Amino acid sequence: NAGVMQNPRHLVRRRGQEARLRCSPMKGHSHVYWYRQLPEEGLKFMVYLQKENIIDESGMPKERFSAEFPKEGPSILRIQQVVRGDSAAYFCASSPPTQYEQYFGPGTRLTVT
């Protein structure tokens, strides 16, 4: 059973461009969480999704950030018009519907130049 997959592992964008981060949960996992880790900090919750539904987006910035988890395909975290402050590691985690443990992907390191 493959673990949580994230791609790309590293992403460089210029200010003003769009960043798309992908997350494929573990097989059988229907719950996806996105977290952001700034340098020297712990992870901060952004959004929690189930298939085709956003359950909790209380940690997501109101502007420029969006997330989806379609019926088919990976979950996508989209950042429009990136700024230098968006530079961080973005982690995705997944869990099965009946358990509470979250399993993390390797993260995507976004660098905005």
Partner 1 sequence: AQTVTQSQPEMSVQEAETVTLSCTYDTSENNYYLFWYKQPPSRQMILVIRQEAYKQQNATENRFSVNFQKAAKSFSLKISDSQLGDTAMYFCAFMNPRRPNYGGSQGNLIFGKGTKLSVKP
Residues that bind partner 1 (CB under 8 A): 31, 33, 35, 41-45, 48, 55-56, 58-59, 89, 91, 93, 95, 100-104, 106-107, 109
The C-alpha angle 12, 16, 17, rounded to 5 degrees, equals 50
User: Closer to partner 1 at the Cβ: 45 or 68?
Assistant: 45
User: Closer to partner 1 at the Cβ: 2 or 14?
Assistant: 2
User: Closer to partner 1 at the Cβ: 76 or 104?
Assistant: 104
Report the distance separating Cα 110 and Cα 73, nearest Å: 22
User: Closer to partner 1 at the Cβ: 15 or 27?
Assistant: 27
Helix (H, G, I), strand (E, B) or coil at 42: coil
Name the residue among 112, 104, 89, 93 with its Cα closest to residue 8.
Answer: 89
- C-beta of 84: minimal distance to partner 1 in Å? 20
- Count the alpha carbons within 13 Å of 90 in the hemisphere toward its beta carbon: 31
- C-beta of 69: minimal distance to partner 1 in Å? 14
